[in-house]
Structure 1
Amino acid sequence: MAVTLSLIVPVYNVAPYLAQCLDSLLAQDLDGVEIIVVDDGATDECPAILASYQEAHPGALTVIRQPNAGLSAARNTGLDKASGQYVAFVDSDDWIEPSYYRRLLELAISQDLDMAHGNAIFHFEGRREDQPIYQDALSTEVMHGREVLRKRLAERTFLHMVWMHLYRREFIEMHGMRFIPGRIHEDVLWTTQAFLLARRVAYDPAQGYFYRQRIRRYSQAASDARFATIIDSSIRNALGLAEMADGLGEDAELAGLIRWQLVDGGLSVFHKLRKIADPEIRRQVHRQCRELGLYSTLWRSATLFSQRRRIARNWLQGLFRR
């Protein structure tokens, strides 16, 4: 049977949630699905769980094991292995309703889409009620990806969630799309680029993907290191978005919306910076902001006085922390 959909599932230390994820994928009411699981050097019970599923469901899962290299590298490994007409990415601590991918795939094939734009549900593990990620009224007509991006950015509803969509694999390969290894929040550049490039996109507002909002606890040292990594990725994402905006030529409106996006994300760097306790790490981050050109990029892209005031204030604070 020809493979119509490749599901790529990176796995790293999610043992309490992995079985629910795999069960939901095996229960999809859809033929022609391949499930590619990339064990990214898990050190918990994940390898044993995967082995048990391979034994119980012969041929249903392709499991690839590699040394830990991060989520982006694991997704790239899955893409290199995929053979489906369309591909989707699944986070291994989430789960999916049986009809979710059938609906998106039927939409993608019937409308000859580069992307089927889906919806999902935030799952808060009982801390509060679950809620749909998108609650607006985006058109379900076929649109150019730029127009979807334009509307979402103008309404401040665009979320960078790579797992919420189906992508034509030929479209991904034609544009050489891969995730940047080592990057945290790698969805930012990927999803923005995908919508900019996709010529045919349609939206299915039905929710069927459950995105788990876990509570994570870290020591102060681990928290500092984690925030430093997130900040590094946020800086580079802002610079990448600036390049995309600069490449939009005469579409000044969309370029301006992307610049708003990069300023919003870039300013979050300073919010995260205040959560770092180690003064040396804070000094390093300020130095990195200067050396990589974050301050100048934010200043050039900002449109509001309040934004420029925040940029100037943080630039001055960085000068005093050299």
Structure 2
Amino acid sequence: MGDLMKKLSIILSAYNVSGYITKTIQSIANQTVHDFEVIAVDDHSTDDTLEILQAFEKKYAWLRVVCHAQNAGVSAARNTGLKLSHIEFVTFVDGDDWLEPNYVEYFMNIFQQHPDLDLVSCGFFIDTKNGKSKPQTEKKQLGLVDRDSAIKQIIKVSGSVMGYTWNKMYRRSVIEKNQLSFLTDLALMEDQLFNVEYATVARGFYLTDTPLYHYVSRKDSITKKFDMENAKNIGVATMRVYKTIHQNAKDEREEKEES
């Protein structure tokens, strides 16, 4: 398993999360397996986030910190991380969330057991302000699924899969070959769109509701602020998601007709 373990890049996006980032980094340091790199992209924070990250960078050889010259949003931060990473597997962590100790081990074990997989997903907890963790559950057994089932889970508004990037692990070769990136003109649902675009070109999916990621629900987060701009973003993102699914179905039909 040794060489497989050296194939993971964790892209950590951080913006003004000085009250959370220490717990995030410590949860990565506490992983049961350690052969990974972390690329932390500070999106031009105005608090102490960058200083905290740089202090950890001195302590941990696996941590590399880069800083945006101006605030560009979470999509741009993830894209920066993708450009700097050259490792076969990649996952994303938000700077105010944290991981269960066996998060990395779980993913690497699944990829080792099923070498033909392109996407693996785990479940997650939603952590409330008062420190309670509630696991998100799935009614039906998942495991190995086909593309249609995976996309249905990604676009669902509830459940243990959904459109997040932080409870999934991807193959870099699929991202690079298909020139996938996060759209920076969307403030919401950009991760769901990325997942749908990835799923339409990926082969082999493994989904589970085993909760290994802690999503920290913050009252001041962008998703909590509902305004017309957010409504527009959701509308545009949803349209692009369905356009991608429709195009994929059309391409598959044409492939079958040709063969």
Corresponding residue for 2:45?
42
Is the aligned partner of 1:205 residue 2:209?
A: yes
Counterpart Cα distance in 1 of 2:171 and 2:22: 28
Is the aligned partner of 1:75 residue 2:82?
A: no
Counterpart Cα distance in 2 of 1:156 and 1:216: 21
CA distance 1:154–1:12, change in 2 (3 Å)? closer
Corresponding residue for 1:180?
183
Counterpart contact for 1:116–1:201, Cα < 8 Å:
yes
TM-score (norm 2): 0.85
Counterpart Cα distance in 2 of 1:130 and 1:244: 34
Counterpart Cα distance in 1 of 2:98 and 2:157: 28
Corresponding residue for 2:219?
215
**Corresponding letter in the other structure for 2:181:** R
**Per-residue deviation at 1:121?**
0.6
Gaps of 5+ in 1: 253-322
Is the aligned partner of 1:234 residue 2:234?
A: yes
CA distance 1:156–1:17, change in 2 (3 Å)? closer
SS state of the match for residue 204, structure 1? Answer: strand
Counterpart contact for 1:8–1:87, Cα < 8 Å:
yes
SS state of the match for residue 13, structure 1? Answer: coil
Matches within 5 A, 1:68-147: 68-112=71-115, 113-126=117-130, 129-140=132-143, 142-147=144-149
Corresponding residue for 1:249?
250
**Corresponding letter in the other structure for 1:216:** D
SS state of the match for residue 64, structure 2? Answer: strand
**Corresponding letter in the other structure for 1:130:** S
**For 2:170, which of 167, 170, 195 is the aligned residue?**
167
Counterpart Cα distance in 2 of 1:215 and 1:230: 16
Residues 245-302 of structure 1 deviation map (CA, whole Å, 9 limit, x = unaligned): 43122989xxxxxxxxxxxxxxxxxxxxxxxxxxxxxxxxxxxxxxxxxxxxxxxxxx
Counterpart contact for 1:9–1:35, Cα < 8 Å:
yes
Counterpart Cα distance in 2 of 1:46 and 1:111: 38
SS state of the match for residue 134, structure 1? Answer: coil
Counterpart Cα distance in 2 of 1:193 and 1:178: 9
Is the aligned partner of 1:195 residue 2:199?
A: yes
Counterpart Cα distance in 1 of 2:221 and 2:168: 30
**Corresponding letter in the other structure for 2:84:** K
**Corresponding letter in the other structure for 2:199:** F
Matches within 5 A, 1:11-22: 11-22=14-25
Equivalent pairs counted in the alignment come to 243
Counterpart Cα distance in 2 of 1:227 and 1:192: 25
Identity value in percent: 24
Structure with the higher strand share, 1 or 2: 2
SS state of the match for residue 16, structure 1? Answer: coil
**Per-residue deviation at 1:77?**
0.3
CA distance 1:31–1:236, change in 2 (3 Å)? same
**Per-residue deviation at 1:143?**
2.5
Structure with the higher helix share, 1 or 2: 1
Counterpart contact for 1:105–1:166, Cα < 8 Å:
no
Counterpart Cα distance in 2 of 1:151 and 1:161: 11
CA RMSD of aligned residues (A): 2.5
Counterpart contact for 1:145–1:197, Cα < 8 Å:
no
Gaps of 5+ in 2: 254-259
SS state of the match for residue 212, structure 2? Answer: strand
**Corresponding letter in the other structure for 2:151:** L
Consecutive aligned runs of 4 or more in structure 1 exceeding 3 Å deviation: 150-158
Between structure 1 and structure 2, the one with the greater Rg is 1
Is the aligned partner of 1:63 residue 2:60?
A: no
Counterpart contact for 2:154–2:196, Cα < 8 Å:
no
Q: In terms of mean alpha carbon deviation, does 233-242 or 71-80 score higher?
A: 233-242
